[in-house]
Amino acid sequence: MASYSPGFVDLSGYQSIDLDSPDLPAFSSHSSEASTKVDQEESKHTELKTVLEMKDKLNKHKLLEKFLEKPDPLSEIEMSLKLKLMSEMLLG
């Protein structure tokens, strides 16, 4: 028998495990829980993204309304922004 250094464990008496064996326990319950959590996170992310997109669109709409209601002549920048907002609403 070979001598071993202190602090090391003798693993020569342990059996080897065939990793391809169908008798190994499945860990699908853990992976399904993890996948469910990931799906929930993706769903929350998608919902948040949708809300933020709607809020952005509403803000642009309100800004365009203010430009259209303004009685004074618009500055060059305001006119440019107004035209941009109108084209965005018509195209998309």
Q: Is the pTM of this model over 0.75?
A: no
47, part of any domain: yes
**Residue in the structure block whose two tokens are 């399904």:** 32
Task: Count up the domains in the chain and report the number.
Answer: 1
The pLDDT mean for the chain works out to 82
Domain span at 66: 33-91
Question: Could you write out the three-class secondary structure of the chain?
Answer: CCCCCCCCCCCCCCCCCCCCCCCCCCCHHHHHHHHHHHHHHHHHHHHHHHHHHHHHHHHHHHHHHHHHHCCCCCCHHHHHHHHHHHHHHHHC
Model confidence at 29: pLDDT above 60: no
Higher-pLDDT residue of 78 and 39 is 78
46, part of any domain: yes
Could you tell me if 67 and 74 are in contact, meaning their C-beta atoms sit under 8 angstroms apart? yes
Residue-wise pLDDT for 40-51, tens only, equals: 889 999 999 999
